[in-house]
Amino acid sequence: MSSHRPRIGVPVDCKLVGTDPSHVVGEKYLAAVAHAADSIPLVLPARAAGAELASLEPQISAHDQLADLDGLFLTGSPSNMEPWRYGSDAPGVGPFDPQRDANNLALLGAAMARDMPVFTVCRGFQELNVACGGTLHTAVQDVPGLSDHRDDHDAPRESRYAPAHPVILTEGGWMADLLGTREITVNSLHSQGIDQLGAALMAEGIAPDGLVEAVRHRDLSFVAGVQWHPEWRYGDNPVSMALFHAFGDACRVFRQRRLSGG
């Protein structure tokens, strides 16, 4: 029954829709949480002040947003993190979304403080690294030795999300054990990427150029992320299904513990 399914928070992007500042999240992310993780996605508004939004932070804390939830899922986005968030004075490459930056970093801190299951993809993966003290390449394609991982915005959607390169999974790692293989093939639609890995994170997968593509928290029960987009056509991809199933199962365990007062 739906009342027993985990409730997973999905924070929004803040962007213009036409001329209206809006809080939005891609439908494919909600679909993957609902169907592949067998959970109830609940959209979380940004709390930082925007063009037409007075800050909600005095009324709603990150802990308030997570109070009745069983997991946190951070999505990808067309925007990039502002470089100052990870200690860089580089100009970076926009568009930027400072409302999302502020909200998601606070939510990650609050979720990890309560050992809540967290799964992150693409931009969310980068946010997780920054929340754990790591840094990012502001433009992966400009770093000597690294490949161009960017999205071709002019290509058809099917082509944009097509398999792009292999990822070698860490031998004996959580993800290799979950998937039963040492190598998978993933899509690639990003310009930022992990530079220095956060101290609390372990690399679970590496691209051929050496870029970290998958991580897991060293100490917490389920805090993981991937640089690619497993939500894209999740039902046709055994790797995506395995990742979302594992996330949903972790959220079910957390929910049982939360409701029992454990």
Annotation marks residue 122 as catalytic: yes
**Active-site residue among 14, 122, 132, 251?**
122
Supply φ then ψ for residue 141, to 5 degrees. -65, -15
CA pair distance 195, 239, nearest whole angstrom: 25
State in Å, rounded, how far the first CA of the chain is from the last one: 22
CA pair distance 46, 167, nearest whole angstrom: 33
CA pair distance 3, 14, nearest whole angstrom: 30
Instruction: Return the sign of the alpha-carbon dihedral for residues 252, 173, 223, 79.
Output: negative
- Contact assessment for residue 169 and residue 182, using Cβ atoms and an 8 Å cutoff: yes
Counting beta carbons within 10 angstroms of the beta carbon of residue 93, is it exposed (0 to 12), middle (13 to 18) or buried (19 or more)? middle
Q: Minimal CA–CA distance to 30: which of 57, 15, 11?
A: 11
- Contact assessment for residue 160 and residue 152, using Cβ atoms and an 8 Å cutoff: yes
Please give the positions annotated as active site.
Answer: 122, 229, 231
